[in-house]
Amino acid sequence: MKMFNELTLKNKIFISCLGFTLLLSILIALFTRSLLITGLTNELKKRGIGIAQGIADSSRVHLLMKSQAELTALAYDARLGNRKDMVKYLIISDKEAHILAHTFTTGLPLNIEEIVGNQNIEKENVSSITVDRHSVFHVVVPVEEGIYTIGSVQMGLDKQHIEELIEDLRLVFLSFLSLVTVIFFFLSHRLALHITKPVTALIRHTDQLSEGDFNIISKDDLDKMILETGAKDDELAKLTNSFIKMMNRLKQSTDRLKNSQKKYLSLFQSGPNPIFVVNKKTFEILDANPNATKLFGYEKEEFIGMNLFDLGSLDDRKFTADYPDGAAMVISSKVRFHKKDGGSVFVNIHASPSEYRNKDVVIVAATDISELVEKDSQLIQASKMTNLEKMSAGIAHEINQPLNAIKMGSEYLSMMGEKKRKIREEDFQMVLREISSQVSRAAEIVGRLKTFSRKADFSREVIDINQCIRSVNKIIGRQIALQNIDFILNLDETIPPVLAHNNRMEQVVFNLVTNARDAVNERIETGRDIQRGVITLSTFSDSRDVGFVISDNGTGIDPGVMENIFESFYTTKQMGEGMGLGLPIIQGIVRDYNGTISVSSNPGKGTDFRILFPAHLKNAME
């Protein structure tokens, strides 16, 4: 069976057909033969009986007469003509089994008298015996006169004669079987060929396909394939057609795949963004597009093998997180990446998982947003300056205070000197001390302003929110007090630090405080409510977040405009008083540091702004 399975389809069909035919032929031959032999033997027996009865009829008178000569003549009659081949011998005996006539020419065989005597002569019967080394059918037919049996005719039918007949038949049969076998041999060969030829052709074409020669198959080739397989309307034709259809489909989809590959390759090669192919586990760079080499200044060869994290500080946990199905995910925004020449660029990182040369990879697009970040910081700066401008009168007042003390102190000294009046030693010391300390005070104010108005770049440091709030308080706390507004700080000194930038954070606090102050002043100026203005700034933290709430008892925000307050250029202030960029910029800064800003307001009663940042915990750093 194993050997059969290893054969080709053609041989399988051939051998199966041939085997089946042979088996069938042999079965038919055996069946026919057994049928024929039985039939022939019976026929022979019947014929023998018929001959014997004829002899018996004719021999009745002679038997009664016991005329042996007549009987012997009759016996020989039985062997006349072609009966001679069939009838081996004929014996006529009386009822006491005495042989009266026989056809043995060379004397009676040894046991014949015993055989004749043993036969039941009352009834016709046939038995198979051997006489003189010949197998014969011994036929017994009684000779009757009225109701008495007067003798018998016993006859030997030669078995050899039947066997000779059968032998002839067998020869004819074998010749016939051989002829059939030969015919079937050719037929099954043809059949096998007929079935397997198109299959072979299909196989050949499939082989070509699997070698990737899609393009060498033209329409002509396909026609030739149909022709070669001789396909018309049978299953093979259908198979061939299906195959051709499939091949066309395959060709189309391969073409499409090639096109899309081309498309993606050109996207990768000439897309505006630097793109990296990064190993998903090790973050090793496997490929980088020309824009990546252009932006970062590394050659492609230098990139390959580098770790993505060598380029900038990224959070690897975000890369290993689950990606939304088939979509790119923003990993981080405004990440500082380092160029080869030491310069830095800000990028937005998008990642999407993929496969590349049978490896699990992440396609990382690093969009250069340096210009955007720069513009952003310019805008933030402009907003800060606008705020400072509004505060300028207050700031001037504040600087004027130490200047006044210095001026008066020094003028006092010069006046006393001019008038040659004696200055008391303690007064002199006091004036000098005061001048010195007021110079420091003025310098501190100037320094704070300088720090505050300095243009900050986008970076993240570990900072203390309380510190920022105190700085802002130093800049505008006094001015708020001068406007008869209580500025209350409830600072929780145990809050963890956050990752942000001092200057930007100060700006957020500063803007919110000045907004609160404006809201309080607006209420006092426009309303009959002369309740004293209060601005409260509290810091707090929970397990994950650090934040502060700034509450005022100002005009509050109308519910109708609540959803607009974070929109750029939306302002309720009069023309020239505000650009409507304060809150959008605050929101932008807060979001840059992964914070959130929320607001709740009670019109006429006040507003709470709540800012939350993720805490920068030490164990998170490790």
Partner 1 sequence: MKILVIDDEKPTLSMFRLFLTAYGYEVHTAEDGEKGLALFHEIKPGIVFTDIKMPGLDGLEVLRRIRKSGIPSEVIVITGHGDMENAVEALDLDASDFINKPVERHALSSALARAEKRRQMQKDLVFEFFETEKENHHIVSLQGKLSASARPLFSSLFKTLKSGNEKEVILIFNDGFSIDKSGISLLMEVIQKLKQKNISIVMENLSYNYLRIFQMAGMDKFATMKEALAED
How far apart, in whole angstroms, are the C-alpha atoms of residue 152 and residue 499? 138
C-beta of 604: minimal distance to partner 1 in Å? 25
Between 417 and 447, whose beta carbon lies closer to partner 1? 417
Q: Is 422 in the site for partner 1 (CB under 8 A)?
A: no
Residue 432 found at the interface with partner 1 (CB under 8 A): no
Asked if 588 touches partner 1 (CB under 8 A), the answer is: no
For 418-443, the DSSP string reads: HTTPPPPHHHHHHHHHHHHHHHHHHH
Is 415 a binding residue for partner 1 by CB under 8 A? The answer is yes
| Binding segment (CB under 8 A) for partner 1, from list 309-317, 333-341, 357-365, 414-422 | 414-422
What is d(CA 591, CA 578) in angstroms, rounded to the nearest whole number? 22
> Which of 61, 171, 430, 462 is the binder for partner 1 (CB under 8 A)?
430
Amino acid at 618: K
Nearer to partner 1, 192 or 513 (CB): 513
Using DSSP's 3-state secondary structure scheme, residue 32 falls into helix
DSSP bridge pairs for 593: none
**What's the min distance (Å) between Cβ of 487 and partner 1?**
11
Q: Do 119 and 52 contact (CB within 8 A), yes or no? A: no
Identified binder of partner 1 from the candidate list 28, 40, 408, 579, rule CB under 8 A: 408
150's enclosing H/E stretch is: strand 148-158
Distance CA 410, CA 428 (A): 10
Neighbours of 102 (CB within 10 A): 21
> CB of residue 478 vs partner 1: minimum separation in angstroms?
8
Compute the least distance from the CB of residue 572 to partner 1, in Å: 26
In the complex, minimum distance from the CB of residue 548 to partner 1, in angstroms, rounded to a whole number: 24
In the bound state with partner 1, the residue whose beta carbon lies nearer, of 421 and 528, is 421
Q: At what angle do helices 465-482 and 425-453 cross, to 10 degrees?
A: 120
Interface segment toward partner 1; rule CB under 8 A; list 127-135, 150-158, 406-414, 533-541 = 406-414
Q: Identify any residues that bridge with 598 across adjacent strands, giving them in sequence order.
A: 610
Q: Min. distance of Cβ 409 from partner 1 in angstroms?
A: 5
Closer residue to partner 1, CB minimum distance, 402 or 606: 402
Site string for partner 1, 345-374 (x = CB under 8 A): ------------------------------
Instruction: Kindly state the smallest distance separating residue 414's Cβ from partner 1, in Å.
Output: 8
Give the range of 262-270, 305-313, 337-345, 429-437 binding partner 1 by CB under 8 A.
429-437
Contact window for partner 1 (CB under 8 A) among 2-10, 201-209, 357-365, 408-416: 408-416
Helix residue spans in 341-497 (DSSP H): 370-418, 425-453, 465-482
Closest CB 412 distance from partner 1, rounded Å:
5
* CA angle at 458 for the pair 453 and 461, rounded to the nearest 5°: 95
**Contact of 475 with 513, CB cutoff 8 Å:** no
Q: Does 411 bind partner 1 (CB under 8 A)?
A: yes
One of 129, 239, 403, 579 touching partner 1 (CB under 8 A): 403
Residue 384 identity? K
Q: What is the rounded CA–CA span in Å between residue 452 and residue 481?
A: 20
Hunting for tokens 């003028």 — which residue is that?
411
Stretch that binds partner 1, among 41-49, 85-93, 353-361, 394-402 (CB under 8 A): 394-402
Residue 404 binding partner 1, by CB under 8 A: yes
Near partner 1 by CB under 8 A, which window of 52-60, 193-201, 368-376, 427-435?
427-435
Q: Is residue 583 within the footprint of partner 1 (CB under 8 A)?
A: no
427 binds partner 1 (CB under 8 A): yes
Measured CA distances, 477 to 96, 481, 486, 515 (Å) = 165, 6, 9, 14
* Exposure on the CB side of residue 161, measured as CA atoms within 13 A: 18
Check residue 595 for interaction with partner 1 (CB under 8 A).
no
Contacts of 50 (CB under 8 A, 6+ apart): none
Identity of the amino acid at 319: F
CA nearest neighbour of 370 among 402, 341, 353, 348: 348
Sign of CA dihedral 492, 494, 498, 502: positive
Tell me the two tokens of residue 246. 């499939």
Q: Is 482 in the site for partner 1 (CB under 8 A)?
A: yes
Residue span binding partner 1 (CB under 8 A) among the ranges 145-153, 163-171, 174-182, 399-407: 399-407
Which residues make beta-bridge pairs with 148? 145
DSSP state of 323: P
533 binds partner 1 (CB under 8 A): no
* Out of 2, 232, 419, 420, the residue judged to bind partner 1 by CB under 8 A: 419
- 481 is an interface residue for partner 1 by CB under 8 A: yes
Q: Which is nearer to partner 1, 8 or 404 (CB)?
A: 404
Question: Of 438 and 587, which has the nearer Cβ to partner 1?
Answer: 438
Check residue 406 for interaction with partner 1 (CB under 8 A). Answer: yes
Question: Whose Cβ is closer to partner 1: residue 94's or residue 398's?
Answer: 398
Nearer Cβ to partner 1 (228/434): 434
| 442 sits near partner 1 (criterion: CB under 8 A) | no
| Closer CB to partner 1, 21 or 438, in the complex | 438
Residue from 76, 323, 412, 540 in contact with partner 1 (CB under 8 A): 412
Beta-carbon contacts of 153 under 8 Å, excluding residues fewer than 6 positions away, are: 52, 53, 55, 56, 59, 90, 91, 92, 140, 141, 143
As a whole number of Å, the CA-based R_g of the chain is 63
Least distance (Å) between residue 524 CB and partner 1 = 14
Binding piece for partner 1, criterion CB under 8 A, among 37-45, 59-67, 183-191, 478-486: 478-486
How do beta strands 533-541 and 485-490 pair? parallel
CB count within 10 Å of CB 36 equals: 15
Rounded to the nearest whole angstrom, what is the least distance from the CB of residue 427 to partner 1 in the complex?
A: 6
CA distances from 134 to 99, 111, 124, 159 (A): 20, 12, 22, 8
Pairing of strands 87-94, 148-158: antiparallel
Footprint of partner 1 on 484-513 (CB under 8 A): 484
Paired residues of 611 in beta bridges? 548, 597
Exactly one of 402, 554, 588, 595 binds partner 1 (CB under 8 A); that residue is 402
Query: What are the distances in angstroms from CA 458 to CA 160, 376, 449?
Result: 123, 9, 20
Q: Shortest approach of partner 1 to residue 512 CB, angstroms? A: 21
Token pair for 478 = 């006094």
Is residue 515 within the footprint of partner 1 (CB under 8 A)?
no
Q: Where does this chain bind partner 1 (CB under 8 A)?
A: 393, 396-397, 400-409, 411-412, 414-416, 419, 421, 427, 430-431, 434, 437-438, 481-482, 484
